[in-house]
Structures are given as C-alpha cells and as structure tokens.
A and B are shown apart, each in its own frame.
Chain A
C-alpha cells in the first residue's frame, strides 16, 4: 500500500538558519534510508505558509473565491510530505516515528487512494 506522511510543524522554528540547515540534513538522511529500503515514491518540502493561496468553493457548483493564506489558521501547518510504499499501517507508522521533526509537530499518516 502507499501512504502519505504529512508533516505539520510550526515553521517559525526554522527562522533560525542553523535549525533549518540541520533539519534539511536530517531529511536527506531519512529520504536516503527510505530509498535504500526501496520505499520512497515521492515527496516535497513546501514553501512557507505565507506563500499559500486558498481557493474555496462554498457549495456544489458555487463560484470559487481566492484567498490569501492557508486553508485553516493553525499554529502547526502542513510543511511537506513523503509518499512511501509500506506493507501495512504499522510499517508506515514506524517510518513516521523516524521522520525528523525539529520541535513540537505531527506526522499524519494517510493511506493513498487506490481508485
């Protein structure tokens, strides 16, 4: 099965340049481990949430409006994701537990649709 590992952190911790450099190194190492195990299918780091634009539709067929900012204003925001291949949820959780996080944060594990 494929799973998306969605990374939610408070991006302000990366205003400190050495923290950012360190986490990038950790992600390289993590992606290397995934690749060595033949598990990586994709992934990306997202630019700052200050660059986000949200297009919203208020109902079926309703006109779409464009807004500045992310879809919800929360302290922790989606900052990047990995797409991985895993045998089952336990394997995906095991990878999520190894995924680098700098301070407080979450990794949401979502199975990818097979349709």
Chain B
C-alpha cells in the first residue's frame, strides 16, 4: 500500500465503513466494497497522485462497488439486472469527492453491540468494523485462534442480517439497557489495549479509537453517568501511557512512574468528565473505577497516592462487581494499607486463577515483599510462562533477578 492510502485507511477507514454499513444495511457488503475501493485506489493514486480528499474518494468508490456487488447478487439470484451505470473514471471520482461522509460510527457500534449478538463476538465485531483491525490482529489481542474468531464474526454478521437487527441508534427508552452492552464492549477492547504497556501495533490503534468513541458516547448521552465515567476512566489510563516504560523498554508499575510524564491535558479532561458524572444518580461500577484512576492521578499534585481512599473505593466496587479482577486489584491496595500478608491471603482465596497472568504476577510480588524467596521465584516463573507482553516480561525478569541477588 502507498503511504497516502495507508494514512487514509487508518484515519478514515472506520468512518467510511460505518457510513457504508449504514447506507446499505449490510456489514459484509460494507467490508467487501471498502476493500475493493482500496484495491482500486492503488493504481489510480499511483498514476495521478493521491486525491484532495482521500476519504471521500474511497467512500465514493466503495459506494459504486457496493451497488455493483448488489446488482451482481441480484443477477445470481435470477433477477433481471438493472442497466449497468457508466463506469466511474478517476476524474468522476475526483469531481464527486466533495460529498460529505456522514458519521455513522455510533450507529454501527449499536448494531455490533446489540444484545441479540453473542456477547463474545460483540467486542471483536466492533473493533473489526469500526477500527478496521484484521481478524489476525483481533485474534491475537483476544487470545483466540484466528479460525475460531473468524467463525464467531461470520455467525454474528449472519445473525445481524437474518434476524433483522436494525441499523439505528436506539431511542432514549432503550439507552440504559443498550448503553451497558456498548460500554462493556468498549471496556473489553480497551483492556486489551491497556494490557500492553508499550502500546505498539494493533493495541495502540485500539486505544486511540476507544478514546474517540468514548468521547462521542459521552457527548451523545450527557445524562448517562456511566458513559461519562467511562470516558473519564479511559482518559486517566491513557494519560499515564508516556510514563509506563523505563529507558530500557521495561514496564514501570503505576507506583514507580514519574507523574511529571503523565499527560496533563488528558487528566484535566478526565477530571471534568468525572465531575459531570457525579450527581447523575448513584455511582455505577465505571464511576467507581474512574474515581480510583483519578485518585492515582492525584499524585501528580500531592506527591502521594491516597491508598486508604483507593481501598474504600474498591470496597464499594466489590459490592457491584465481585469478580476476580476487582478482588485482585483491591488486594494490591490492601497490601499498601494493611501489609502484604493480608493481601496475599486475599488473593490466594481466589478460585480458578492459576493460568491468569495478573494473579501470578501479583502473587510473585507479594511473596517477594515477604522475602519468601523460593515461592516468589516459582511464582515469577509461572507468570513468565503465561506469555506476558515484551515490556512486562522484561519487568518480571528484572524483579526475579533482583530477588536472586537481593
């Protein structure tokens, strides 16, 4: 791909695909037409240079391809073809390239996150359609095999088409129910992006999209406390990205990061959103999580992390979401407030977490803090066997070495 095309696909691909899906009410058709438009762009742009507005060029070309594909499908189904349109010349496309592309991404998100779509498929389908990641990239981010994921996506798209899932943003009465599915989907997508501290490749794209989409949701639903809180939460977490690696590329845990490297603009945005979310009823789980992030970020002003406040917020969160993720994170705060033995007892009471990297890593750190060297070493070994991202691998290896020499 030429550079111009790559840039256009990355910057405008989601918007173009969403507009196509909304116009033709068919996800497969939208993907296929967009892919063919990109193929057509290669020779056309090489010959004449990239168009003034590459996104509009791609949209127009894809619309024509979609109409053509629909016509061919009709012919295959035995209908008489409509007369073919005159083929577009590159000049036509340049002339037409001024039509604005409607922003239908939100509509597309609501389609992909419809409760009638299998929950495991929602996040993957959303990232595929809206962020344009390949099946291989999504499969690696979600730790699934590519054929399994591909099959799940096919089934989800077929369900949407055959069951008649509407291509609409639901009315306000349906928002509370539907918003939760949308936010959960974005949460899963963002968790994948956040896991990798280095934020390279597919994950970096995820993070950028989730920042943008969460802002869009907050703007469209200014009365929905959870939508506002989620947008805040993503901003606090992304604000810390510049500080998440040390000079050697190893991950730096939150407590060892230099707050001066945090992005002050994102923190300010997060704080404003969280303030707006307060007073929209009883705080939901995302409001509590955002408040925890805000408390961590407050270190930039005060120089200390308010662990007791953070623990109290986790206690409140535990009442809404008593899952292993919350309990593990709460234990990390508990270690700061009540010491490592109490925290270790908490996490060792968790069930079925043997193969879960955050559990093995947290356990290794707590054992190391208690100077139980042999057990800590074994726990680090187990954590390292669970395939951490390169930055975290380096960090865990260093900690393990420090244990041996200390």
Contacts and interface: CB of A to CB of B under 8 A. Distances in A.
Nearest to A110: B163
Contact of B170 (A1, A3, A90, A111): A90
B165 A88 contact: yes
A96 to B, nearest CB: 11
Interface in B174-231: 174
A15 interface: no
Contacts of B82: none
A17 interface: no
B166 A90 contact: yes
Contacts of A3: 164
Contacts of A92: 164
Contacts, number: 25
A90 B166 CA distance: 7
B170 A89 contact: no
Interface in B106-123: 114, 116
Given A87-B166, A88-B164, A89-B164, 5 more contacts: A89-B116, A89-B163, A89-B166, A90-B165, A111-B164
Interface residues of A, number: 11
Measured as residues with beta carbon below 8 angstroms from the partner, the interface class of chain B is 10 to 19
Nearest to A88: B166
Contacts of A111: 162-164
A86 B165 CA distance: 11
A106 to B, nearest CB: 14
Interface string A1-14: 10100000000000
7 A-B pairs with least C-beta separation: A88-B166, A89-B164, A88-B164, A1-B164, A89-B165, A89-B163, A90-B166
A25 to B, nearest CB: 27
A84 to B, nearest CB: 12
Contacts of A109: 163
A109 to B, nearest CB: 8
23 contacts: A1-B164, A3-B164, A86-B164, A87-B166, A88-B164, A88-B165, A88-B166, A88-B168, A89-B114, A89-B163, A89-B164, A89-B165, A89-B166, A90-B165, A90-B166, A90-B168, A90-B170, A92-B164, A93-B116, A109-B163, A111-B162, A111-B163, A111-B164
Nearest to B25: A88
Q: Say what secondary structure dominates the interface of chain B.
A: loop
Contacts of A86: 164
B213 to A, nearest CB: 22
Interface in A1-57: 1, 3
Interface string B151-163: 0000000000011
A6 to B, nearest CB: 14
B80 to A, nearest CB: 20
Instruction: Select the residue from A87, A88, A90, A93 with max chain B CB neighbours within 10 A.
Output: A90
Contacts of A89: 114, 116, 163-166
Instruction: Select the residue from B114, B163, B165 with max chain A CB neighbours within 10 A.
Output: B163
B225 to A, nearest CB: 24
A88 B114 CA distance: 13
Contacts of A1: 164
Nearest to A91: B166
Contacts of A93: 116
A114 to B, nearest CB: 10
Contacts of B114: 89
Nearest to B178: A90
A3 B162 CA distance: 11
Interface string A66-107: 000000000000000000001111101100000000000000
Contacts of B162: 111
